[in-house]
Copies of this chain bind each other. A is one copy, B any other.
C-alpha cells in the first residue's frame, strides 16, 4: 500500500463532523476500497471550546481555516464551511494554489466561482471535487462525469431542495397550510435561521447551475437561472393539483439546445404517474435524459451529516485511489459559453388559480384575456368559495409559451374582478 492520504477538514459543523465520523468508523473498509489509509491530520473550527460528539484525538484543531491550505502535512483539504465568499473561498483558492486537492460540499461557492476554481486546479495539477455540493448522498455528479459520459444529455431536472420538498410533502399528506408546516419545521430544527435560501429557490438554483454545466459542458451560469420559490403555494393549490392527478414539486430544470441554455427553478404540477411525483419528504431526486440511455433517475437523501458525509468521503476515496479528472469533466477551456435562452419561448401546459369576485360576467372578463393571448384552455373549474368570499377558479391550459401565459397572468392580475394575485405554475406530464 502507498502512503496514507492526509486530510484536513475545514469546518466542524454537521457535514464536517459527519465526514470525520465516517472516516473514523470505517477506517479499515475505506483503506481497503481506497487502496491506502486515509488519515485526518487537522481540522478547523470557529469555536474551539464547543463540545462536540466526535472523537478529535490525534487531530490538530486550529482556529484559522485558511492556515490548513498551506500545511506540508496535508494532501487534501475538505472545505465544509459554506458560503461563497469569505473564509471558504480564500481557503479553497489557497489550497489549490498550494497544490492540494480540494473536496467541497459548498454549492454556493461552486455555482459562483466553480469555473475560476477549476482553472486554478488545472494550473496547479490538482483535483477539485464537489460530489457533496448537489443532492447530498446521491452520486449524481459522478454519474454525469463518468457513468453517463457516453451520452449527449438533453435535459436534466430534479427535486434539489429537501426543505421545500419536506414542506410540500407535509402540506399534501397532512393537509396543512405552508405556514403551519414552516412553524413546525422551525420548532423541529429542520429550518435554517433564514430559510429564504431554501424557500425562494436560491439553493436549488445553485445546484441546477452546477448540474447544467456538468451535463452540457457549458460554463456555470448561476445568474442565468430564473428562480421562483414556493412561497405562493397554498394548501388550496396542493388540493386542486391532487384532484387533477398531480403533485406540486419545486423543480430545477435545465435544457441545452443549439448553444442556448435554459435554466429555471419553479414549483410545478407533476403528474402522479411520473417518478419525480412520488419523491417524498426531504428526499432529493435527479432525472437525466440522455440520447442513448434514455431517462435515468436517481433518488436519495439530499442533506444531513450521513448523506453529505457519504459524498465527501466518496470523493476522498476516489482521490486516494488516484482518480484524476477535470472539475467539470472537460478542461475549462473547452466549456461552452452558452447564451441564456429566452424562457418566454418555452412551451408547456400551465395551471392558473384565480381568486375572483363571485358575480355575473366575471368568467367572460378573464376568458377574453385567454382569447387575446391565443391561449387554448383545456379545463376551467370553479372549485370553492374561499374565506374571503372569492370564487376559486382553476384554469388548465393546453400547450402554450411561457411568454403568452406570463402576459395573460399579468393582464388577469390587473382586472378589477381579480381579488388576489393569481397563482401560476407549469405542468409536467
> Footprint of B on A, CB under 8 Å?
18, 22, 26, 29-30, 32-34, 131, 136-139, 142-143, 145-152, 217, 273, 275, 278-279, 290-301, 306-307, 309-314, 316-318, 321-325, 329-330, 334
Contacts and interface: CB of A to CB of B under 8 A. Distances in A.
Given A18-B292, A294-B301, A142 B152 contact: no
A166 B147 CA distance: 25
A32 B290 CA distance: 17
Contacts of A299: 275, 296-299
A260 to B, nearest CB: 18
Contact of A137 (B32, B296, B309, B313): B296
Closest A-B pairs by Cβ, 5 of them = A139-B147, A150-B313, A137-B293, A296-B300, A292-B306
A139 B148 contact: yes
A33 B330 contact: yes
A334 B32 contact: yes
A283 to B, nearest CB: 8
A178 to B, nearest CB: 23
A150 B294 contact: no
Nearest to A142: B147
A290 B22 CA distance: 12
Contacts of A148: 137, 139, 310, 314
A278 B29 CA distance: 34
Contacts of A145: 33
Given A32-B330, A137-B292, 6 more contacts: A34-B149, A147-B314, A148-B310, A150-B317, A275-B278, A294-B306
Contacts of A279: 275
Given A22-B292, A293-B310, A295-B300, A149 B275 contact: no
A302 B313 CA distance: 29
Contacts of A317: 146, 149-150
Given A22-B292, A306-B292, A152 B29 contact: yes
A311 B293 CA distance: 8
A18, A26, A151, A307 interface centre (most CB from chain B within 10 Å): A151
9 contacts: A29-B217, A137-B294, A139-B142, A150-B314, A150-B316, A293-B300, A293-B301, A293-B311, A295-B301
A150 B309 contact: yes
Contact of A146 (B18, B294, B318, B322): B318
Nearest to A316: B150
A149 B294 contact: no
A137 B143 CA distance: 11
A294 B307 contact: yes
A150 B131 CA distance: 13
A217 B138 CA distance: 21
Nearest to A300: B296
A221 B147 CA distance: 26
Contacts of A318: 146, 149
Contact of A142 (B146, B296, B311, B322): B146
A79 B65 CA distance: 50
A221 B151 CA distance: 33
